[in-house]
């Protein structure tokens, strides 16, 4: 321990019990390393730098320099509500709250629903940052096994009956980390179970616009008739994450509480970013941008699929994702993926180990997540080949897992 460390340890005042549950973000630590130009990164869900739109803040509507409404800028709220209506989710602009990235929406949900020991149902595996956020508030996790078709509605019913959860958190469309996309029948069945029980649904949907072929993308929230709901969305993956603009929509009984929590958190989200985004959404340029984004990412996905077929046969199982930003690889034998990551980083390759995506240790299996949107095609091929060499040395030979289901 250095003198500075000793001083900091001695001078730290008593902290809340909540801080004991605050864990560092592995993905943030990896991203620090991947700032080096020589590193090929498959780790974070980063949009391609060259595909992000140019940011021109001239001639924005109104004057966004002053304090604004906590709900968000009205033109942007109306644009979001119109997009949601196009998905079949009936809500108006007064049910839309603009957030500082969708991560703030996740945090607000945690504040709204979770007390110490509150049960929370979520997919296993699930979005690691949501697990981190909910854990800080004291959530007691109960994982739902996930297959290509989604969670099992009967398993959901039984889990609710065993211990009624504060809410159910799902990512039905191009799920993070697996890339799975729930079928229409599964979405309707899950909605029916939630309506029957009256349990709130928190639906996270940041990847729905990144589709590379036919896929069912109607929000489960659109099928709910009785259960309360919160729908989370983001513009980070389809515009520029540095804008830090996300949103949530919520059923009328929940919205006022989420608004008050937002007011207590940061008053309002960046008004300049909101004004720019509202203008960008107005014109045909946005739709052209989405089409170009999906086309380029589809090519990179196909490049990674071909590279995996060449280099990972026998090392892992995976499926071609219909959308989103990730491949999910279930390894063929036991592997300390955190140790493998350190070896890979020494070879200038970054990936995301699977362990942090599991809410419960007993549900884990050896896996890793690979992002295909950020690296150029030539780097994808070189990086996958190099990663296969690393994992080939780290995987303990064992029986090939019989299926992709968790």
Give kind and range of the element (H or E) at residue 377: helix 377-394
DSSP state of 217: -
Task: Identify whether the C-beta of residue 215 lies closer than 8 Å to the C-beta of residue 181.
Answer: yes
Q: How many whole angstroms separate alpha carbon 112 and alpha carbon 106?
A: 10
Residue 36 tokens, joined:
């080096």
Number of neighbouring beta carbons within 10 Å of residue 56: 10
Task: Identify whether the C-beta of residue 173 lies closer than 8 Å to the C-beta of residue 181.
Answer: yes
Q: How many whole angstroms separate alpha carbon 206 and alpha carbon 29?
A: 22
Helix-strand-coil split of the chain, %, nearest 5: 45, 15, 40
Q: How many whole angstroms separate alpha carbon 199 and alpha carbon 120?
A: 11
Question: Tokens 């945690």 identify what position?
Answer: 110
Task: Identify whether the C-beta of residue 371 lies closer than 8 Å to the C-beta of residue 326.
Answer: yes
**What CATH number was assigned to the domain covering residues 3-51+287-394?**
3.90.1150.10
Give kind and range of the element (H or E) at residue 153: helix 153-162
Helices (H), 205-349: 255-266, 271-282, 284-311, 337-346
Number of neighbouring beta carbons within 10 Å of residue 354: 24
pLDDT score for 35:
67
Q: Which residues contact 199 (CB under 8 A, 6 or more apart)?
A: 160, 164, 165, 167, 168, 227
Residue 88 tokens, joined:
């079949």
pLDDT, one tens digit for every residue, the chain (406 residues): 455 555 555 577 888 777 777 766 666 667 666 667 789 999 988 899 999 999 999 888 788 999 999 999 999 999 999 999 999 999 999 999 999 999 999 999 999 999 999 999 999 999 999 999 999 999 999 999 999 999 999 999 999 999 999 999 999 999 999 999 999 999 999 999 999 999 999 999 999 999 999 999 999 999 999 999 999 999 999 999 999 999 999 999 999 999 999 999 999 999 999 999 999 999 899 999 999 999 999 999 999 999 999 999 999 999 999 999 999 999 999 999 999 999 999 999 999 999 999 999 999 999 999 999 999 999 999 999 999 999 999 998 654 444 444 3
CATH for 74-283 (3.90.1140.10, 3.40.190.10, 3.40.640.10, 3.40.50.300): 3.40.640.10
Whole-prediction pTM value? 0.93
Task: Provide the residue count of the chain.
Answer: 406
Residues facing residue 229 across a β-bridge: 201
Domain boundaries, the chain: 3-51+287-394, 74-283
pLDDT score for 405:
40
Give kind and range of the element (H or E) at residue 96: strand 96-99
Phi, psi at residue 125, to the nearest 5°? -80, 170
pLDDT score for 27:
61
pLDDT score for 28:
60
């Amino acid at each position: 321990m250095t003198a500075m460390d000793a001083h900091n340890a001695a001078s730290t005042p008593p902290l809340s019990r909540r801080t004991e549950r605050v864990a560092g973000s592995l993905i943030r630590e990896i991203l620090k390393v991947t700032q080096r130009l020589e590193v090929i990164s498959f780790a974070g869900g980063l949009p391609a730098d060259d595909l992000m739109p140019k940011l021109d803040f001239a001639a924005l509507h109104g004057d966004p320099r002053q304090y604004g409404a906590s709900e968000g800028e009205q033109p942007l709220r109306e644009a979001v509500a119109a997009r949601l209506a196009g998905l079949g989710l009936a809500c108006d602009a007064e049910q839309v709250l603009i957030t500082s990235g969708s991560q703030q929406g996740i945090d607000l949900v945690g504040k709204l629903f979770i007390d110490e020991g509150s049960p929370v149902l979520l997919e296993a595996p699930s979005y690691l940052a949501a697990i981190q956020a909910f854990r800080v508030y004291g959530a007691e996790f109960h994982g739902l096994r996930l297959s290509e078709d989604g969670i099992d509605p009967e398993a959901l019913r039984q889990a609710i009956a065993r211990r009624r959860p504060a809410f159910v958190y799902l990512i039905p469309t191009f799920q993070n980390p697996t890339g799975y996309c729930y079928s229409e029948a599964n979405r309707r069945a899950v909605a029916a179970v939630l309506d029957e029980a009256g349990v709130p649904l928190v639906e996270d949907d940041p990847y729905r616009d990144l589709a590379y072929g036919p896929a069912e993308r109607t929000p489960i929230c659109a099928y709910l008739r009785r259960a309360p709901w919160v729908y989370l969305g983001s513009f980070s993956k389809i515009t520029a994450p540095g804008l830090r603009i996300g949103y949530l929509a919520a059923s009328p009984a929940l919205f006022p509480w989420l608004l008050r929590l937002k007011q207590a958190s940061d008053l309002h989200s960046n008004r300049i970013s909101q004004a720019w985004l509202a203008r960008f959404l107005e014109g045909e340029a946005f739709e052209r941008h989405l089409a170009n984004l999906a086309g380029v990412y589809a090519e990179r996905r196909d490049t990674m699929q071909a590279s995996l077929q060449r280099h990972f046969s026998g090392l892992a199982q995976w499926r071609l994702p219909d959308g989103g930003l990730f491949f999910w690889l279930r390894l063929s034998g036991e592997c300390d993926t955190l140790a493998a990551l350190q070896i890979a980083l020494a070879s200038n390759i970054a990936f995301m180990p699977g362990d942090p995506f599991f809410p419960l240790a007993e549900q884990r299996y050896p896996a890793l997540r690979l992002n295909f949107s950020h690296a150029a095609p030539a780097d994808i091929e070189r990086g996958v080949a190099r990663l296969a060499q690393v994992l080939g040395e780290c995987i303990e030979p064992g029986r090939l897992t019989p299926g992709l289901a968790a």
